[in-house]
Amino acid sequence: MTGVTMTTEQHCADRADARRDRIADTVRRLGTQLREDRRERGPHVADAAWVDEPFDDWLAMLHEGKPLARTSMLALAVGMDQTLAVRDALIVSIVGGADGARKAVLMDFASRPHAPEVCARMGRLLTAAFTDEHGGLDKARCRAAVGALKDMAGIVPERYRVQPLTIMAYVLWWLGKDEAVEYALEALAIDERCSLAAIVLGAMRRGIYPVWLR
């Protein structure tokens, strides 16, 4: 029986390794595809096309509790790796209230991040959420997002885990959860240049939190 058990365990390990290899190959292919599209059509057009369907899936997960499709997980992970505007759009969709979780708003954040009106809107949404004394944050939305991001970080190659981990740290910081430290440190262990993870850590060490937690 011991031999059978060992054979079964090895078989499961081999299958898991093969699955990781397939996902890594897919992520590399998607990364190449996005880089080439950005060169050919420009970041504005390419990024908008890239996040269009994944954002639909992401918002369905936030609003309706639908599982985030693996194809969308991988596309979002690749998008965040190549442009932090995708990461920032996801953050706003989680903490930015009802206006921040609208498809048109997220598309602007992801594809036109440097447009003055887009920067101003993002600033207004995040400032309003941060200074809300009544804690208007949608806790169910936060939990759904953290769960989906944890799944995403669990399947992608190490390099692509940085931004999902950073978003989790950021959201958990907004919720006043100590686990934020763990995810921020994990992100920084992979990429010490991840400034947002460092900002979250610094804020928590200095006792800086959204107004409703004070």
Long-range contacts of the stretch 122-128 (C-beta < 8 A, 24+) = 122/88, 122/92, 125/92, 125/96, 125/97, 125/99, 125/100, 126/92, 126/95, 126/96, 128/97
**What pLDDT score was predicted for residue 168?**
98
Question: Which two tokens mark 23?
Answer: 């996902």
pLDDT-flagged residues of the chain (< 70): 1-14, 16, 135-136
Question: Which two tokens mark 130?
Answer: 């941060």
Q: How far apart are CA 144 and CA 141, in angstroms?
A: 5
* pTM confidence score: 0.91
Q: Where are the domains of the chain?
A: 2-213
How many Å separate Cα 32 from the centre of its chain? 20
**pLDDT tens digits, 173-212:** 999 999 999 999 999 999 999 999 999 999 999 999 999 8
**What pLDDT score was predicted for residue 120?**
96
Which residues, 6 or more positions from 203, have their beta carbon under 8 angstroms from its beta carbon?
A: 173, 209
